Amino acid sequence: MNRKRVVIIGGGFGGLNAAKQFRKNNFEIIIIDKTNHHLFQPLLYQVATAALSPGDIAVPIRSVFRGKKNIEVIMSEVLSVNKNESYVQLEDRRIYFDYLIMSPGSSHSYFGKNEWEKYAPGLKTLNDALSVRENILSSFEEAEIEEDKNKRDEYLTFVIIGGGPTGVEMAGAIAEIARQTMLKDFRNIKPQETKIFLIEAGARILTAYSGHLSAIAKSDLEKMGVKVMTDAMVTEVSTNGVTAGGTMIKTKNIIWAAGNEASPLLKSLGADLDRAGRVLVENDLSIKDYPNIFVIGDAANIKNQNGELLPGIAPVAIQQGKYAARIIEREIPKGNREPFSYFDKGTMATIGKAKAVAMIRRFEFSQGIAWFLWTFVHIFFLITFRNRFRVMGEWILYYFTSRRGVRLITRRARK
Amino acid sequence: MNRKRVVIIGGGFGGLNAAKQFRKNNFEIIIIDKTNHHLFQPLLYQVATAALSPGDIAVPIRSVFRGKKNIEVIMSEVLSVNKNESYVQLEDRRIYFDYLIMSPGSSHSYFGKNEWEKYAPGLKTLNDALSVRENILSSFEEAEIEEDKNKRDEYLTFVIIGGGPTGVEMAGAIAEIARQTMLKDFRNIKPQETKIFLIEAGARILTAYSGHLSAIAKSDLEKMGVKVMTDAMVTEVSTNGVTAGGTMIKTKNIIWAAGNEASPLLKSLGADLDRAGRVLVENDLSIKDYPNIFVIGDAANIKNQNGELLPGIAPVAIQQGKYAARIIEREIPKGNREPFSYFDKGTMATIGKAKAVAMIRRFEFSQGIAWFLWTFVHIFFLITFRNRFRVMGEWILYYFTSRRGVRLITRRARK
């Protein structure tokens, strides 16, 4: 039986949902991911701020396809794609494909200054989140026993670079930690001693939202004690601290949440890329001249009917994954394919709005609609029942105790 | 107000329960621990085998004493104790005490061959458990794509050194993973390919239990596919594998669960030590000539009325912690102190038996009494409600799905 083979790169929202479409056994599916798990990235900042555990927001990809004999999972990095000879190159082998769906995601951009990464780690993987958590908690521990006020200030100063949703969430969460959670845990450090900076190079934070929401978010963050610096480009990052907008901030805690650049793997496609490295796909999400190769998720540059670039968010990746998989499953030839059309069931606005409202109404977090909406929207998108059960559990406990549940330092890395 | 100061070294069962005794505000308590959390060690092997998350079995020490103004927590290592001048030496400071309770625990002994540790890590801390988990899961991933049968065998061979409870639990858990959990997750590796060895230098495993239980445990492990090697001393450990009892086993997976040696910190006391480095304490748990210094938990060598050495288990440490704290709180002079007497409410036998029965009756795990007994005994000893909630949740899910809940590889460390 010579089944055709579909290789899917990436076990995120796009890749996972593409694989799930292949219900019948007439295709051989191989999913390749650098990690062994599917990660719910929107909640990663909660692992970084000790509110959730990795197991709450991640599930082994194998689990999702347990028992599905036609789906194989390989944990490996893909080094390049050879579109002419139809194979993907791994470290020590090639895997040939009849169809390829690329959903490799994106990583942070340090705008050319990659040496900054060691002082200002990003927040894209579970490993990142655990490192950030470790650093935050260790900083408080160091500050607790540090008698030199200057050194103590450096431990209690937190700088988040990037005013998008991730940066705003992190800044808000750290402010909460400093002012609520930690208050009774420590004896020598006072919440007022904690300084939190959110640095944005552009004119305002949350540029993807309306100016109105943006202003409310800024105001709420400031009420929580976060200093929001806009029009402040970062010019220097070192072990001593950050220089942005001409100001030098001494700190031991820098988190990078700025800039998205698409996976460098895409370069090997030899296709047209935009400035952020995303592939300019055709209206059926395939690349020019190769109707058997699709690029989806935030690795793809595609516009909606209004000519606006579709954002790199989960619902878009999910629909694209299903779309590409359906074309493959029915083996629809290029000429007969309906163009991809993102069906915005108001989801995007809903998530965006709920998230924005929840983010900015942190003080009123408990108040009815915003909280429930945000909670359930996130839980709805979590992939497994187990994850939903755990996250609901953690949030319920947090709601009643105001205490983040996972304030653990497990690695011995000290500053 | 010149309160007396009690320094407690170690936030484990002994130290934590000692600190909890000081209800009134008339003493200043300082707890010092190398980590920031209290760890429920009996369940550590479940983190190592991806059944529980760190957050399920650990709680920040600060959480336990939240809001208790007279209790301070310091995350630091104690380098030595100066009993004459009554202070403990940290890296960069001294802390003077009026009373000292030492509960530093124990670590694995490599019987002088400390270079073996990098090939055969132990299982004492959360960091250990996460490393072990990472290695086990990564080994399965490597085996899944390895075409060379010899190399694949090395990835699928697991050697556990040490036939005590930890070793037996690990061996049993890995056998379960190989034969049940992983079965449907992987396509290319077969459970029969997995080889598990439990190596014990002595004549039988579980020497702390009766010969009868020991024999049942061995038989059950063998039914699960574990090869139990007794009278097999380990003579060589390297990156290639293990040599024990004259046999060379090629493996990439070695876990060290043998030998306990008390914390080296105890040497600085200049007190009499037994062969395992434990302090030979007086019958009031204090050290000779220094009635203000107590050593408890598995760092102490003390006998019961029958002249038997009290084992280094949780209920003993808990009672000793409370005992020492009560003496201090009432400032009972040496001559008036009742000797410490371990009140075995059948707990030890109960836990031991339930644990032994549950361990060895793994196939009948679901069968009534043993399972419930074991479950509730463990949950009872977990320190916080949050932990109990999570562990119950995980076990209920595991019971229904037969799937370990935290099969995540988060670090990028590959073999």
Contact A57, A63 (CB under 8 A): no
Q: Is A301 helix (H, G, I), strand (E, B) or coil?
A: strand
- Tokens 């700088």 -> residue: A159
Please state at what angle helix B347-360 crosses helix B314-329, rounded to 10 degrees.
160
Q: Is B375 helix (H, G, I), strand (E, B) or coil?
A: helix
Q: Does B130 touch chain A (CB under 8 A)?
A: yes
Sheet holding A157-161, edge to edge: A226-229, A195-199, A157-161, A253-256
What are the DSSP calls for A10-44, one per residue? --SHHHHHHHHH--STTEEEEEEESSSEEE-GGGH
Spatial separation of the C-alpha atoms in residues B40 and B53, rounded to whole Å: 12
Q: Residue B348: its pLDDT value, please?
A: 45
Q: Residue A378: its pLDDT value, please?
A: 62
Label residue A197 exposed, middle or buried (CB < 10 Å: 0-12, 13-18, 19+): buried
The candidate with the shortest Cα–Cα distance to A200, out of A259, A288, A142, is A259
Spatial separation of the C-alpha atoms in residues A160 and A167, rounded to whole Å: 6
| Residues lower than pLDDT 70 in chain B | 1, 183, 344-386, 396, 398-403, 412-415
The candidate with the shortest Cα–Cα distance to A137, out of A185, A91, A104, is A185
B residues 4-63 lying closer than 8 A (beta carbon) to A:
35-37, 53-56, 58, 60, 62-63
User: CB under 8 Å to A306, separation ≥6 — which residues?
Assistant: none
- Is the Cβ pair A389, B393 closer than 8 Å? yes
Contact A36, A59 (CB under 8 A): no
The two tokens of residue A327 are 């074309």
- Is the Cβ pair B408, A93 closer than 8 Å? no
Q: Residue A383: its pLDDT value, please?
A: 62
- Tokens 């990795």 -> residue: A54
Considering A142, A154, A169, A282, which one is annotated as catalytic? Answer: A169
Residue type, A240: N
Best mutation site among A38, A62, A136, A412 for testing chain B: the one with the most B CBs within 10 Å? Answer: A62
| Distance to chain B for A232, nearest Cα, Å | 34
Residues in chain B within 8 Å Cβ distance of A66 = 184-185, 403
Q: Does B245 touch chain A (CB under 8 A)?
A: no
Spatial separation of the C-alpha atoms in residues A395 and A372, rounded to whole Å: 11
- Tokens 């996976």 -> residue: A263
- Tokens 């460098």 -> residue: A264
The candidate with the shortest Cα–Cα distance to B195, out of B161, B245, B149, B155, is B155
Structure confidence by residue, pLDDT tens digits, B365-376: 434 445 455 555
Spatial separation of the C-alpha atoms in residues B408 and B130, rounded to whole Å: 10
Spatial separation of the C-alpha atoms in residues A253 and A239, rounded to whole Å: 9
Considering B169, B176, B200, B282, which one is annotated as catalytic? Answer: B169
- Is the Cβ pair B145, A393 closer than 8 Å? no
- For A408, the closest of B37, B141, B397 (CB atoms) is B37
Q: Residue A384: its pLDDT value, please?
A: 66
CB atoms within 10 A of CB A84: 8
Q: Residue A331: its pLDDT value, please?
A: 94
- Is the Cβ pair B55, A60 closer than 8 Å? no
Torsion of CA B386, B391, B393, B396, to 10 degrees: -160
Contact A193, A231 (CB under 8 A): no
Q: Does A393 touch chain B (CB under 8 A)?
A: yes
Q: Residue A363: its pLDDT value, please?
A: 39
Sheet holding A286-287, edge to edge: A71-75, A27-33, A4-9, A99-102, A290-295, A286-287
Distance of CA A288 to CAs A89, A106, A135, A280, Å? 21, 21, 45, 9
Q: Does B392 touch chain A (CB under 8 A)?
A: no
| Residues lower than pLDDT 70 in chain A | 1, 183, 344-386, 396, 398-403, 412-415
- For A126, the closest of B185, B187, B408 (CB atoms) is B408
Best mutation site among B25, B53, B59, B383 for testing chain A: the one with the most A CBs within 10 Å? Answer: B53
Query: What is the ipTM score, two decimals?
Result: 0.73
| Distance to chain B for A411, nearest Cα, Å | 6
Q: Does A144 touch chain B (CB under 8 A)?
A: yes
